[in-house]
Structure 1
Amino acid sequence: MAVLALLAGIALSGCSRSDTGTETASRPALPAVEVKVEKAVGQELPALIHVTGVVRASERASIAPKVMGTISAFPVDLGQRVKSGDLLVKIEAAEISAKVLQAEAQLKQASRDLAREESLLEKGASTSEIVKNLADRVTIMTAMVDEARVMLGYTEIRAPFDGRVARKFSEVGSLSAPGMPLLELEGDGDFEIEAGVPESLIAGLEVGAAFPVQLPSSKGSFEATLKEVSSAFDSISRTVTARFAIPAAVEARAGQYARLTLSGEFRPAVLAPVESVSKYGQMERVFVVEGGIAKLRLVKTGAARDGNVEIVSGLTAGETVVLDPPVSLRDGQPLKL
């Protein structure tokens, strides 16, 4: 019985192999597909280097008082829009008001004395020297009144331009001191990107040149124009501060993160048409033409450049690739060129 079972197994195995061979032999050949092709080219291209920056309002100001005193009014809130001339902060400084009253009183007294002596001079009861001295005193007291009034005007801080309150550093009741920032104001006009550019890339920067920019938070991309470059290096980061103007049509907000693309040193690169690269899941692939046959090739791509894409690996210059490969195209399938 064991011998019969063994013989039966051998016979079934032989039948299975025979059936498989028949199926392979009967499988139809892949039809030739008509495609358009183009050769990958090699070029010397600059390396693309990404630099991060921050969006800021082109017009901005840190508002600080010129006199010391207690903040008695702070009528603006964070994010509030203000017009030029609107009251931002009021400072209580009683001693300045007292100086104004004192200077005004002294000016009135000097003016009365001058008028009296001028009248006496006409009658010959005074001298021109006394009148001249009193006139000089009136001039001095007038200047003192003007100075005191200017100082009193410093107790009210007003918006220097139309904008929005970006930050507040103090509140009502706090003591203000000259030079101590109370709030930050940002204009409603143009925006710019402030970025630290590595020392090695400074030579490639030219004022007025445009550079690609991405705003990841808003998924926007555009070109920003270089406005100015600082002449001083940061000794720690070895970078130079540069400012790039954002086009007026771009929706941007102060504080957004921006990524600029700058050009580095030239290096050899392989470029292929963008339409030759297709994705299969997370993989990128091209079909290379070898002897009239499509050969599937996995590649790694870099930056896109004027209708082409840089092939970092998987393809060499001079190889022919299929443009817009059909979804049904298979590895090893014949091609009609």
Structure 2
Amino acid sequence: MRPSPFLLSLAAVLVTACTRQTQVSAPPEAGSLAVTTAVVVRENRPALIEMPATIRPVERAVISAKLTGTIATLPWGLGQAVPAGDVLVTLAVPETEARVRQAQASLAEAARATERERTLVAKGVNAPDSLRDAEDRLRFAQAGLAEAEAMLAHASIRAPFAGVVTEKTVLPGDLATPGLPLLTLESTARLRAEGAVPEQAAATLRIGDSLPVVVQDGAAPVAGRIEELSTAADALSRSVLVKVALPAGSARSGQFARLQVTAGASDSLFIPATALTRFGQMERVFVVTEGRAVLRLVKSGRTIGDRLEILSGLNAGEQIVLTPPAALRDGQRVTPQS
């Protein structure tokens, strides 16, 4: 028995209604997020190598005693700034003080003897040679007193220059002997980054040239100036010692640094620094691919102005997201904006 036309029409209406209901109930696709983008560019720039260096002061003194004595005062602590000429350490030296008093007594005796001989020679009682002998003894006594006073002056050890105490090896009451280090004084006015540079890269360096120095990771290099450059290379490491003067206040003594030395030229990829985000030790960039933001792990290199060198993870010409919004997720549809 064939179905009637009415039943066929009713079935068609029901199928159409069900299809429309299914289409309406499907979940809508997430909306597109508007983002600002830039393009990864390739440039031929001088290749830089970074060599480890150490920040050291130009002026540094290990303070020692010239006398044997007990440390009476040591008023300065670690990190304290000491003006030039201020007393760093005072020694108790009773033996030297006694020697000064002895020299003073000998000088007074020699002065009286000289005056007496001068009077006797003037009266013709003694020969002129006796006066000359007395004057020689007087000069000898004067020299002895000057020597004793000079030794006593070493009981007060003064700062040879303005600086900061960076090390103390003794305390009040300890015995100081000649040559024993008491403390270390370093000047903070002038600091240098000292490091070894490969001899081939050092061939282009000259005293007075500007040399970038990376003092802190992630920060822009500090513009330094080459003050000293060894003319001989180390036979084992095949490197040359370079000392680079730094601007005041840009580093601390003993700090690790890196010297950026030019070694030829190479092609490098660069992106705006705002395109890179960090999550722990990972460096990330969102790449726009077929209208979606794809999260890509990268490895960055040097920073030049507001741009960042990319060592791996990107290709030239790729479109990347600048200042990725916090709501941006991997694979999300985006709308690039210039």
Report the counterpart of residue 127 of structure 2 in structure 1: 127
Q: Residue type matched to 1:202 in 2?
A: A
Report the counterpart of residue 48 of structure 2 in structure 1: 47
Moved more, 151-160 or 241-250: 241-250
Report the counterpart of residue 185 of structure 1 in structure 2: 185
Which one of the candidate residues 244, 256, 259 is aligned to 1:258? 256
Distance 1:82 1:113 in 2: 48
Matching of residues 1-337 of structure 1 within 5 Å: 40-43=41-44, 45-54=46-55, 56-187=56-187, 189-200=188-199, 201-208=201-208, 209-216=210-217, 222-230=222-230, 241-248=241-248, 250=250, 252-255=251-254, 257-274=255-272, 282-284=283-285, 286=287, 300-305=299-304, 308-313=307-312, 320-322=317-319
User: Displacement, 1:142?
Assistant: 0.7
Please say if residues 93 and 155 of structure 1, whose CA atoms lie closer than 8 Å, have aligned partners that are also in contact: yes
Distance 1:287 1:332 in 2: 9
User: Displacement, 1:171?
Assistant: 1.6
Please say if residues 286 and 320 of structure 2, whose CA atoms lie closer than 8 Å, have aligned partners that are also in contact: no
Please say if residues 286 and 321 of structure 2, whose CA atoms lie closer than 8 Å, have aligned partners that are also in contact: no
User: Displacement, 1:146?
Assistant: 0.4
Helix, strand or coil: the match of 2:203? helix
Please say if residues 37 and 336 of structure 2, whose CA atoms lie closer than 8 Å, have aligned partners that are also in contact: no
User: Displacement, 1:132?
Assistant: 1.6
Please say if residues 286 and 293 of structure 2, whose CA atoms lie closer than 8 Å, have aligned partners that are also in contact: no
Superposed CA offset, 1:290-333 (max 9, x none): xxx999795654323355544434666xx5454767989x9999
Report the counterpart of residue 5 of structure 2 in structure 1: none
Distance 2:92 2:318 in 1: 77
User: Displacement, 1:184?
Assistant: 1.3
Please say if residues 65 and 176 of structure 2, whose CA atoms lie closer than 8 Å, have aligned partners that are also in contact: yes
Distance 2:238 2:82 in 1: 39
Closer, same or farther: CA 271–160 of 1 in aligned 2, 3 Å: same
Q: Residue type matched to 2:206 in 1?
A: E
Distance 1:246 1:184 in 2: 22
Distance 1:100 1:233 in 2: 53
User: Displacement, 1:176?
Assistant: 1.3
Distance 1:335 1:174 in 2: 73
Distance 2:46 2:137 in 1: 77
Superposed CA offset, 1:111-140 (max 9, x none): 112111111121112222221222122112
Superposed CA offset, 1:206-232 (max 9, x none): 33313132235x968533333324567
Closer, same or farther: CA 302–80 of 1 in aligned 2, 3 Å: closer
Q: Residue type matched to 2:303 in 1?
A: A
Please say if residues 190 and 246 of structure 1, whose CA atoms lie closer than 8 Å, have aligned partners that are also in contact: no
Identity %: 28
User: Displacement, 1:258?
Assistant: 3.1
Helix, strand or coil: the match of 1:79? coil
Helix, strand or coil: the match of 2:268? strand
Superposed CA offset, 1:122-163 (max 9, x none): 111222222122212211211111011101111121223333
Closer, same or farther: CA 305–68 of 1 in aligned 2, 3 Å: same
Please say if residues 275 and 323 of structure 1, whose CA atoms lie closer than 8 Å, have aligned partners that are also in contact: no
Please say if residues 48 and 263 of structure 1, whose CA atoms lie closer than 8 Å, have aligned partners that are also in contact: yes
Distance 2:94 2:311 in 1: 72
Unaligned runs of 5+ in 2: 1-18
**Number of residue pairs matched?**
303
User: Displacement, 1:168?
Assistant: 1.0
Q: Residue type matched to 2:144 in 1?
A: M
Distance 1:274 1:155 in 2: 62
Unaligned runs of 5+ in 1: 1-17
> RMSD between aligned alpha carbons?
4.3
Distance 2:164 2:333 in 1: 64
Distance 1:220 1:308 in 2: 11
Please say if residues 60 and 184 of structure 2, whose CA atoms lie closer than 8 Å, have aligned partners that are also in contact: yes
User: Displacement, 1:243?
Assistant: 3.3
Q: Residue type matched to 1:159 in 2?
A: A
